[in-house]
Amino acid sequence: MPRYDIRQAFSSLPRFNKDDVDANTLNRLVRTIEQNLFQLDLNVVPSYTTTERNSRKFSPGGLIFNTTIEVHQAYDGNAWRNLYEPVFYPTGVSATSSLGTVTVVIT
């Protein structure tokens, strides 16, 4: 399983102005991060497919690794939020000409 730099996870999060988030929400977010972030370990965080994740109940602040899209996700109580953008690597390129088919595989 690949390792991810936590700085990469936070670099894709939206930025807020101080007036965008009330004190109660900010305090809950900080507490959730305190409780979960320092426990983040790719060998400990539960892994689920999207289907498995959707069939279970989670508390707000829950962290999982989604194996369908290969990204860590956090549950905000209403929806799952990706902690970083999934990375998709091309597995091959195909082209067709009058001579036939040429396939180029990039590894």
Distance (Å, rounded) from C-alpha 25 to C-alpha 9? Answer: 20
Distance (Å, rounded) from C-alpha 4 to C-alpha 70? Answer: 11
Which residue type occupies 59? S
Q: Would you say the pTM of this structure is higher than 0.95?
A: no
Which of 2-6, 10-14, 17-21, 37-41 is least confident?
2-6
Count CB atoms within 10 A of the CB of residue 55.
9
User: 85 CB contacts (<8 Å, ≥6 apart)?
Assistant: 12, 71
> Who has greater pLDDT, 48 or 21?
48
Does 16 have pLDDT greater than 50? yes
